Amino acid sequence: MERVIQQTDYDALSCKLAAISVGYLPSSVLQRLSVDLARKYTQWHRSYLLTLKKFSRRAFGKVDKAMRSSFPVMNYGTFLRTVGIDAAILDFLDANEKVQVVNLGCGSDLRMLPLLQMFPHLTYVDIDYNDSVELKNNILRESEILRTSLDLPVEDATTSPFLIDQKRYKLVACDLNDITETTRLLETCTKRDIPTVVISECLLCYIHQNESQLLINTILAKFAHGLWISYDPIGGSQPNDRFGSIMQSNLKESRNLEMPTLMTYNSKEKYALRWSAAPNVTVNDMWDIFNSQIPESERKRLRSLQFLDELEELKVMQTHYILMKAQW
């Protein structure tokens, strides 16, 4: 199962690279990047892909092929997913002088790179399965632009579970289903009293109900003050809504992959209940975000990149993906 879930990270990487190649990302407006950082953003991601080829030609081939066959509706979705999460992080960083970010199930995500450069008092922890972070560690050290941006040596004596153990950035191997090990590792690489952003991006949907709830409750209790940002699909709660059942069937058939809670938390309201211990919880679907939180100037820019004639398909897809923000 671990290896199958790792394949979903390659999907996310190919989507991100496709959106970058056409110009959807970066969004200087919503990700608040300077001209220099916007240029680096593109360079970092391209270098990650090229360096991936050195370590896994098969993974590179899959990512490269998927990247080249991405449709506008997918690029819009990747844009909304990326800027929705980034805007939420940036709002919290603006409101708190010193912050630590914990990215659960980080995969190949590179958002630590611009954030660490933009916010000198930020610390960042990436956590994922051992195979995922070992590959990420190799790529970060092998690529000159990635290595120098993080000030990493080519090789390091640091051993697993801490593959990178710097003052401001840590890359940690952990099975997040193992709550005892997760708690122990968080004790060693985070501090309870520092305001904390927790990211779970398409993570909780792959964890069983009891384990995911225990993870949520444990982390809410661990940090004194924080913001949890979660991005996930929801199955849909209307009687004639077949989105979730079709998604489950496709994943089972094509990859033997399950989303155990897709139909359990199949609405925004049910999904929010998982963070009932937090005093302030908001959940928006991505179609809400597209229509209410993306400035018209950005929507105009997106329309100039590619002609999108699948507007109804975009609406159906994006009403079944949510962005949850819980503050405590």
Q: Give the DSSP per-residue string, 21-65.
A: HHT----HHHH---HHHHHHHHHHHHHHHHHHHHH-HHHHHHHHH
Residue 273: CB atoms within 10 A of its CB come to 12
Instruction: Give me the mean pLDDT over the 288-304 stretch.
Output: 97
Tell me: pLDDT of 154 over 90. no
> Residue 159: which pLDDT band, with cuts at 50, 70 and 90?
confident
Quote the pLDDT of residue 5: 81
How do the domains of the chain map onto residue ranges? Answer: 2-327
Q: Which of 73, 15, 69, 77 is nearest to 313 (CA)?
A: 73
Q: Which of 325, 324, 323 is nearest to 227 (CA)?
A: 325
Q: Which of 251, 259, 264, 195 is nearest to 223 (CA)?
A: 195
* pTM attached to this predicted model: 0.96
List CB contacts of 316: < 8 A, sequence separation 6 or more: 243
Torsion of CA 166, 100, 15, 282, to 10 degrees: 170
Quote the pLDDT of residue 101: 98
> Is 303 annotated as belonging to a binding site?
no
> Is 301 annotated as belonging to a binding site?
no
Residue 80: CB atoms within 10 A of its CB come to 26
Instruction: Please tell me the CATH superfamily of domain 2-327, with its number.
Output: Vaccinia Virus protein VP39 (3.40.50.150)
> Is 39 annotated as belonging to a binding site?
no
> Is 175 annotated as belonging to a binding site?
yes
- For residue range 215-258, what is the model confidence (pLDDT) as tens digits? 999 999 999 999 999 999 999 999 889 999 999 999 999 889 99
> Residue 155: which pLDDT band, with cuts at 50, 70 and 90?
confident
Quote the pLDDT of residue 6: 77
- For residue range 89-109, what is the model confidence (pLDDT) as tens digits? 999 999 999 999 999 999 999
> Is 81 annotated as belonging to a binding site?
yes
Which tokens sit at 160? Answer: 């697993």
> Rounded to the nearest 5°, which phi and psi values hold at 282?
-130, 140
Q: Which of 246, 186, 228 is nearest to 323 (CA)?
A: 228
Q: Are strands 122-128 and 162-165 parallel, antiparallel or unpaired?
A: unpaired
Quote the pLDDT of residue 192: 97
Query: Roughly what angle, to the nearest 10 degrees, separates helices 35-55 and 57-68?
Result: 130
- For residue range 57-74, what is the model confidence (pLDDT) as tens digits? 999 999 999 999 889 999
Which tokens sit at 282? Answer: 């908001």
Q: Which of 284, 251, 282, 245 is nearest to 263 (CA)?
A: 245
Average pLDDT, whole number, for the chain?
A: 95
